[in-house]
Amino acid sequence: MNNIKYKLATMTLCTLFTTSVFANNAPPIRLVIHGGAGTITKDTITPEQEKEYKEKLTEALNAGYAVLNSGGTSIEAVQKSINIMEDSPLFNAGKGAVFTHDGRNELDASIMDGKTRKAGAVAGVTTVKNPINAAIAVMEKSPHVMMVSTGADLFAKEQGLTIVDPSYFRTEHRWQQLQKAIEKEQVVLDHDGKTAALFVDPMMYDYKYGTVGAVALDQHGNLAAGTSTGGMTNKRYGRVGDSPIIGAGNYADNETVAVSATGSGEMFIRTLTAFNIAAQVKYKNLPLEEAAQNALDEVKAINGSGGVIVLDKTGNYTMSFNSEGMYRGTIGNDGKPVVAIYKE
């Protein structure tokens, strides 16, 4: 049994949940997930909601662990855990996706294989039940990295993925969020009790809280990262955030780390947050938590917020965020899921 040490540290404007893994005989396996970051405090969600989130995070962890523990790949583990969250209306991905200004659900996702550095992404899809599956299909069955809109929907259908009527994604909670946003004509922050800015401010504060992601290390020593989102409430003009952009909201390389991000999409794109962390690990040999905080500090410097999950090839990981909370969890060789929501 691995000797696992958990370390919980709080740094300036950044909460870290970090661990080091020291393998004995069995090769290390590890899955880390997030379900979005934001103004998530005990007074913003009910005890019943907290229980629901923790149960769903645990379900996602157990699904991914079953893959890893049976010798499956990190890509498969990431897919299984994200599918659980995409199928839940609790998160801003898949079934629980937010609405655009025109009353549509436009979904984005990306995947990256740390062994080969192959990647796949889709943006603005409207009929694919599980966008992360479409991203994997792009990676594995096309010469491309990203497909968008109707083309991506068509490709997913041709690959035999589950296609649904757009009404599948509708939830009353998300619909009411849109109505309130249209009424006030301002961007509404998912999982946040505050409003960020009038629409005339060009969406500088895009906190797409509820985005889901997973990073995994399998028994073969390979890393993978995946991210899936519904974007932001009341978005217009075909806007796409960081989640499907390799290097911004998602990245994996066996030589460094796997990263999935959630937060201020435009700021994560402008600072290439995911690759920024990997570069610091590669070129400066920084610990994961320090690299993650440095990257989030850059996001904060341009008025951004959010969080990241980061995992390396030895099983070390961090779950870092500079917001009030982040839905998050991890599971390793011992098969015991650990989940958290608030700053702890």
Residue 193 assigned as binding residue: no
Cα angle at 281 between 278 and 287, to 5 degrees?
125
Rounded distance, CA 205 to CA 270, Å? 13
Residue 335 assigned as binding residue: no
What burial letters (b/e) apply to 238-271, b meaning 16+ CB within 10 Å? ebbbbbbbbbbbbbbbbebbbbbbbbbbbbbbeb
Quote the crossing angle between the two packed helices 273-284 and 288-301, to the nearest 10°: 140
For the chain, the distance separating the N- and C-terminal CA atoms, rounded to the nearest angstrom, is: 27
**Cα dihedral value 137, 139, 143, 148, nearest 10:** 70
Residue 265 assigned as binding residue: yes
Dig out the tokens for 103 from the structure: 């009353």
Dig out the tokens for 282 from the structure: 């590669």
Rounded distance, CA 261 to CA 280, Å? 16
The verdict on whether 12 is a catalytic residue reads: no
Residue 308 assigned as binding residue: no
Residue 239 assigned as binding residue: yes
C-beta of residue 307 within 8 angstroms of C-beta of residue 262: yes
Rounded distance, CA 304 to CA 272, Å? 13
The DSSP H or E segment spanning 58 is helix 47-69
Residue 263 assigned as binding residue: yes
Which of 211, 227, 233, 330 is catalytic? The answer is 211
DSSP letter string, 159-191:
TT--B--GGGG--HHHHHHHHHHHHHTEEEPTT
Q: 169's torsion region: left (phi>0), alpha (psi -120 to 50) or beta?
A: alpha
Of 13, 244, 229, 252, the residue nearest 116 (C-alpha): 252
Torsional sign, CA 54, 51, 8, 275: positive
Residue 117 assigned as binding residue: no
Residue 273 assigned as binding residue: no
Binding residues for substrate: 239-242, 262-265
The residues assigned a catalytic role are: 211
Binding residues: 239-242, 262-265
